[in-house]
Amino acid sequence: MDTPEYAPNYTSNDLLFSLHGEYARRSLNYEIVAQGADEVQDIQNAPAVSMGRYLADSGQTSLLTEISIYSSRGESREQLRLLYMNAVALLIWKTMGRRPNLIGAQHRPPRSALLTFGVPFSE
């Protein structure tokens, strides 16, 4: 079928927004990136370690004030670390050659998540 709910990347968030028209998809400010145990072992997969250096080396340090990344501990080996990245951070992460495992999106990071890199969430 061609309906959105049967699309391969259709998520529970998509269902929520299709059921509640007052919420706009654009209000989801943070993409959730899951990193498995193998990824976490490579220190270059930590944005706080590699992203600042990448921006400095590429002459894009002005973007530092637009990046917001939070992290929290996952609950399985496949999702050992969860990163909550705003759009700018995610775009830079992809530009750096990373292939993030996107598992969802939400308006803001959970209260239990810690600011890992960049500036805090603000509305």
> Residue 97 and residue 75: Cα distance in Å, rounded?
26
Is 78 within a domain? yes
Q: How many domains in the chain?
A: 1
pTM over 0.85: no
- pLDDT of 1 reads 42
- pLDDT of 23 reads 47
> Where does the pLDDT of residue 33 fall: very low under 50, low under 70, confident under 90, or very high at 90 and above?
very high
Is 5 within a domain? no
What is the domain extent for residue 65? 28-116
- pLDDT of 28 reads 83
Is 39 within a domain? yes
**Inter-axis angle of helices 47-57 and 87-95, nearest 10:** 70
CATH value at residue 61: 3.30.70
Is 122 within a domain? no
Per the structure block, which two tokens stand in for 83?
Answer: 């990163």
Is 63 within a domain? yes
The residue to which tokens 């391969």 are assigned = 8
